[in-house]
A and B are shown apart, each in its own frame.
Chain A
Amino acid sequence: MTQPRTAPGAVYLDHAASTPMYPEAVAAMTEQLARPGNPSSLHASGRAARRVVEESRETIARAINARPGEVVFTSGGTEADNLAVKGIYWSRRQADPRRTRVLSTTVEHHAVLDSLHWLEDQGADVELLPVNRCGRLEIEALRESIERDPDSVALVSVMWANNEVGTVQPIADVVEIAHAHGIPVHTDAVQAIGQVRVDFAASGVDALTLTAHKLGGPVGVGALVVRREIELTPLLHGGGQERDVRSGTIDAPAIRGFAVAVELSVARQPEHAARVAALRDDLLRRVSEQVPDAVLNGDENCSLTNRLPGNAHIQFPGCEGDSLLMLLDARGIECSTGSACSAGVPQPSHVLLAMGADDVAARSALRFSLGHTSTQADVDALAEAIAPVVERARAAGIASGLGTTPVSAAKAG
């Protein structure tokens, strides 16, 4: 039971998709699963379940320096993003009909982007601000956009760190500019918690999304941490269990596992980041030895202030990402090509396209993401497999007419 939940013998390099649960979180969650009681019930069993939920809320609040009352449990990151973006937009616009603008970036997760597109259909003016070649928000573009007409901005939403290329965003600058005009800021910090230091109060953000399964907790639970003074229009109506903005029976076992995982991942973050970053740096070095024309996407400065410690997003010229993925998978090495749509049809990543990559380059990249169970042996296995895999994928890429940019033989040697 203490074994990580990856496929047997697999080299798991896809922690940014979902990271194995901490054994402690599994134990805490299963213990609670065996206990009866709805946290909203008034009897002893209900009170016992409620106590578990409230203790978990306090644990999470303490870990990220928020107040317990600011933690609203949700079904995960997607619901928290939807609640923040739609809920704050609706409330702010209702308070002042001039507030029709929502400012965000071109590299957000689809949970934010698709919520914004939906709001657009409801009459919102959505502005997706550009990023630079590293995937970092052009902060002056945000300043200009706000100053053009500050009273019309309902909300600014900028992710803390990007899920694909790992670029850390300048949240402090975003908050400073937005708050100068009284505009609330939401941040999707799903990838950041447990990887880099996240202090809710000190950051100044008004709402922050986190989810359990990216930091060693279970899938299906997350939270929106939101300041008490921010008005939220609910998405889900019903019993009003969570602060009257989120209805649905409170999932005490999942929340218990979530809290344990947040506490552990935040407590271990400094040591974890240093260890994983060292493995990642070794991975980059070794891959570039084996495949000299491989290119690192995202910020070349891999310090913690710039890039998530476990993220290695690499472009392999002349290869199709899904060929690489399939060949590595056949060798037991698991990674990702980026965002996948519901049919599993690989689409060129909107993040890479926003960073200036062309269609072909965007399809020739892989994301390796390391996490708390990653070992030197994982990196060694990838270093050993990557050269023949790239060679093969390159041949297949040429067979399928990929690589309008010819692969330089001189560079490969």
Chain B
Amino acid sequence: MRVLAAMSGGVDSAVAAARAAEMGHDVTGIHLALSRNPKSYRTGARGCCTIEDANDARRAADVIGIPFYVWDMSDRFHEDVVEDFLTEYAEGRTPNPCLRCNEKIKFAAVLERAMALGFDAVATGHYAQLVTGADGLIEMHRAVDMAKDQSYVLGVLTQEQLAHSLFPLGDSRKDDVRAEAERRGLSVAKKPDSHDICFISDGDTGGWLHEKLGERVPLSSGEIRDHATGEVLGTHEGSYRFTIGQRKGLRIGRPAPDGHPRYVLDIEPVSGTVTVGPRDELTVDHITAFRPRWCGTVPTEPLHGTVQLRAHGEEHRATVTVSAPPTAGKEDSAAGEDEVVIELHEPAQGIAPGQAAVLYDGTRVVGSATITRAVRREPRMNRRR
């Protein structure tokens, strides 16, 4: 196969490219330039947007012995990932940009261009496993190394995309990948992992959002209110600084009457009102989500499996139902889109609209959807007050 290996400059994608080449594929390495000005998004060696990272990727390609190019995806990345991230926050939701990047850039724009240029597949250093099922469909499963498993951020991939993807690291442990990089003479063997959002250079998401959204949503400042009494407890300078379930940084001078910490329960982007209350009020068991993307066939019957609600989050047992379009026939944008209803068997806390719910059947990824609403259906059994 002719394989295009996306190389971030990190150890994982370098080893993935090396393995693809060793499997006998005709591999070409590319580094995605995601920022027009490589210094503007991130400094230091921990992201994937710097000149240094491009050079690390280039040196890895030299060592592996494959051709290497830089593809400028900065315009697409800005439109589809950065702008989307800002819009979502401005509207009171909590997006996952890595998932969005996989959906729109790596396995869409890059894959489409690769296919058009005559490549058969795109290889990345993601930790997830692909296997061909009995029905001939490609299944995606969690990685062997659960601590590194990235199937959650790949949950947006469709069968068509999976059929042209290679994840050569899915069966390996991170430590072994580092050791292999060392053995192969790849200089990135000891390079630290990237953790934060790659386009926010100092990791200060709130400050970055304030800088970018300050002008765009001048009216987003507002009041912080108590959930039960409606009492105004304080004010804030931008609702996008808050996430459902957030406890720190509320800057409320007075403690709650019961002495328990307060958490963000709700964000109303239009009025700017942020509602706070006790942790117990964060508890939900009924989640609705839209924009589902299925890795294989669309489930026709209620699915008894698990759901993961944030990156590196825990699994929750759930029953998932796909309902027919609620507004079929109407002209609005949601018409024709399936809605996904997730009933959690055990309640969960701090579920934010905008996050992705990724559905699993055992280790297999069934699909994903974007959370629109999370509420409590079952009566609360353990209320303290």
What residues make up the interface of A, taking CB atoms closer than 8 Å to B? 322-323, 325-327, 329-330, 342-347, 392-393, 395-396, 398-401
Contacts and interface: CB of A to CB of B under 8 A. Distances in A.
Contacts, number: 58
Nearest to B2: A330
B33 interface: yes
Contacts of B28: 326, 330
A396 B116 CA distance: 5
A400 B109 contact: yes
Contacts of A400: 76, 109, 112-113
Nearest to B32: A345
B241 interface: no
Contacts of A325: 69
B67 A396 contact: no
22 contacts: A322-B69, A322-B72, A326-B28, A327-B117, A329-B67, A342-B51, A343-B33, A343-B38, A343-B51, A343-B55, A343-B70, A344-B70, A345-B36, A345-B70, A345-B72, A345-B74, A396-B112, A396-B113, A396-B116, A399-B113, A399-B115, A400-B76
What 7 A-B pairs come out closest when comparing CB atoms? A396-B116, A344-B70, A399-B112, A395-B116, A345-B33, A399-B116, A343-B51
Contact of B69 (A326, A398, A399): A326
A269 B294 CA distance: 65
Contacts of A398: 116
Given A326-B69, A330-B67, A345 B38 contact: yes
A344 B112 contact: no
A346 B116 contact: no
Most buried by B among A326, A392, A400: A400
Nearest to A393: B117
B114 to A, nearest CB: 8
A366 to B, nearest CB: 14
A343 B71 CA distance: 11
Interface string B243-279: 0000000000000000000000000000000000000
B21 to A, nearest CB: 15
Contact of B117 (A326, A345, A346, A347): A326
Contacts of B72: 322, 345-347
B208 to A, nearest CB: 22
Given A343-B54, A345-B33, A345-B70, A323 B38 contact: no
A265 B369 CA distance: 66
Point out which of B28, B58, B69, B115 has the most chain A C-beta atoms below 10 A from its C-beta: B69
Contacts of A329: 67
Nearest to B51: A343
B136 interface: no
B118 interface: yes
Nearest to B117: A396
Nearest to A363: B72
Nearest to B114: A396
Nearest to B71: A322
Contacts of A393: 117
Q: Which of A323, A325, A343, A400 has the most CB of B within 10 A?
A: A343
A330 B30 CA distance: 14
A113 B340 CA distance: 57
Nearest to A402: B113
Contacts of A330: 28, 67
A346 B69 CA distance: 10
Interface in B205-251: none
Nearest to B110: A400
Given A342-B51, A345-B38, A392 B116 contact: yes
A363 to B, nearest CB: 9
Nearest to A395: B116
A310 B71 CA distance: 28
Interface string B297-335: 000000000000000000000000000000000000000
Given A343-B54, A345-B36, A396-B112, 5 more contacts: A326-B69, A343-B70, A345-B74, A396-B116, A398-B116
Contacts of B117: 323, 326-327, 392-393, 395-396
A342 B53 CA distance: 12
Contacts of B58: 344
Contacts of B118: 327, 392
A392 B118 CA distance: 8
A400 B74 CA distance: 12
A236 to B, nearest CB: 26
B113 A323 contact: yes
A322 B115 CA distance: 15
Contacts of A347: 72
Interface in B36-55: 36, 38, 51, 54-55
A347 B117 CA distance: 20
Contact of A346 (B51, B54, B70): B70
B237 to A, nearest CB: 35
A325 B115 CA distance: 16
B214 to A, nearest CB: 29
Interface string B66-86: 010111101010000000000
A27 to B, nearest CB: 30
Interface string B94-133: 0000000000000001001101111000000000000000
A400 B115 CA distance: 11
Nearest to B34: A345
Contacts of A323: 113, 117
Contacts of B38: 343, 345
Nearest to B30: A326
Contacts of B70: 343-346
